């Protein structure tokens, strides 16, 4: 039994689905099944039960999962302390990020960071902010890129990029030639919106509520599950929307959509890199934070 097998079992236990586990750790489902079989042969007991596409832990699997997490946390702690002692910048850097930093900001930073620090293997996982913070608290991630720092004494963070929410409209729309729109006019337009429960939707609706437009007054014509889908729908004329400026750089450059602001309602927010509160961060984490800040120093 090795550390990789241990990590695989933990992901399977948490995802409760072999397909989702395979996507997260970037190996095939047959490879996961083989590792599970190795574990069950080693302990001579059944650890997981397959139910359709799902996976449930047996009582023995629950016991092993609890100890597996403890073992992995001890290994991670040992690795951090040894890296700090040696000062070398190498290893596996795991970053969890919410949609905007995960899809639009971090990938190019990670790409150039790899050129400067070739011995660092960076893994970027994208989820919602709650999941990213949970991974930090579980010590399953070194960093989380999120739109809001949690109120948790175990974590701290630093502002690394700024974001602005923009109204987007199709080319040829009556608003396309304007620089700003009143919130009263916005309320009359059919909106292409994120789904209920989306963090992005919550942020946008909070800003609008500050301007006097409550969520129940919105004319929502279409709900979609991703920012990319929203931009595509607006481009096709399905309505107008409000998205991060980072999500529309390419479309604006290609003149596929137009963007404008809401009059007298600035919608700006900061994005943060969060990390566990420790006296000394590992050289690898410290190097990435410093590198990310250099790409776009906070104002």
User: Does CATH number 2.30.110.10 belong to domain 163-268?
Assistant: no
| Residue 297 φ then ψ, to 5° | -55, 135
Q: Give which of 285, 294, 293 is closest to 117, Cα–Cα.
A: 285
Q: What is the mean pLDDT of the chain?
A: 89
Q: Which fold has domain 1-86?
A: Arc Repressor Mutant, subunit A (1.10.10)
Q: How far apart are CA 7 and CA 234, in angstroms?
A: 41
Task: State the pTM of this model.
Answer: 0.68
Tokens of 85: 């002692």
> pLDDT higher for 71 or 24?
71
- Residue range(s) in the chain whose domain bears CATH number 1.10.10.10: 1-86
Instruction: Please list, in sequence order, all residues whose beta carbon lies within 8 angstroms of the beta carbon of residue 189, skipping any fewer than 6 positions away.
Output: 175, 219, 239, 240
- Residue range(s) in the chain whose domain bears CATH number 3.40.190.10: 163-268
Of the listed ranges 98-107, 120-129, 240-249, 274-283, the least confidently predicted one is 274-283
Alpha helices, DSSP H, located in the chain: 3-15, 18-25, 29-43, 59-86, 99-100, 106-116, 129-137, 183-188, 199-210, 227-235, 249-253, 283-295
| Phi-psi category of residue 209: left, alpha or beta, with phi > 0 → left and psi -120 to 50 → alpha | alpha
In this prediction, residue 299 carries a pLDDT of 45
Instruction: Please list, in sequence order, all residues whose beta carbon lies within 8 angstroms of the beta carbon of residue 134, skipping any fewer than 6 positions away.
Output: none
Of the listed ranges 66-80, 120-134, 279-293, the least confidently predicted one is 66-80
| Phi-psi category of residue 264: left, alpha or beta, with phi > 0 → left and psi -120 to 50 → alpha | left
**pLDDT category, 70, cuts 50, 70, 90?**
confident
């Amino acid at each position: 039994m090795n550390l990789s097998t241990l990590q695989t079992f933990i992901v399977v236990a948490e995802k409760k689905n072999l397909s989702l586990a395979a996507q997260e750790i970037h190996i095939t489902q047959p490879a996961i099944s083989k590792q599970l079989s190795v574990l069950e042969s080693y302990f001579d007991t059944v650890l997981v039960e397959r139910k359709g596409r799902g996976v449930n832990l047996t009582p023995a699997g629950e016991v092993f999962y609890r100890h597996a997490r403890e073992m992995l946390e001890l290994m991670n702690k040992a690795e951090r302390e040894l890296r700090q002692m040696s000062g070398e910048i190498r290893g596996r850097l795991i970053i969890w990020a919410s949609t905007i930093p995960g899809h639009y900001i971090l990938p190019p930073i990670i790409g150039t960071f790899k050129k400067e620090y070739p011995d660092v293997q960076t893994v970027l996982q994208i989820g919602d902010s709650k999941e990213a913070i949970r991974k930090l608290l579980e010590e399953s991630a070194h960093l989380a890129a999120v739109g809001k720092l949690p109120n948790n004494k175990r974590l701290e963070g630093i502002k690394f990029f700024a974001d602005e929410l923009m109204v987007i409209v199709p080319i040829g729309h009556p608003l396309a030639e304007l620089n700003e729109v009143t919130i009263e006019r916005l309320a009359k337009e059919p909106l292409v919106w994120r789904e209920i429960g989306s963090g992005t939707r919550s942020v946008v609706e909070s800003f609008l509520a500050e301007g006097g437009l409550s969520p129940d007054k919105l004319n929502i014509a279409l709900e979609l599950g991703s920012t990319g889908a929203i931009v595509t729908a607006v481009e096709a004329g399905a309505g107008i929307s409000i998205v991060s400026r980072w999500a529309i750089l390419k479309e604006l450059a290609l003149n596929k959509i137009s963007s404008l602001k809401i009059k007298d309602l600035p919608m700006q927010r900061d994005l943060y890199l969060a990390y566990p509160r420790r006296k000394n961060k590992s050289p690898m984490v410290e190097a990435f934070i410093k590198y990310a800040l250099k790409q776009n120093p906070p104002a």
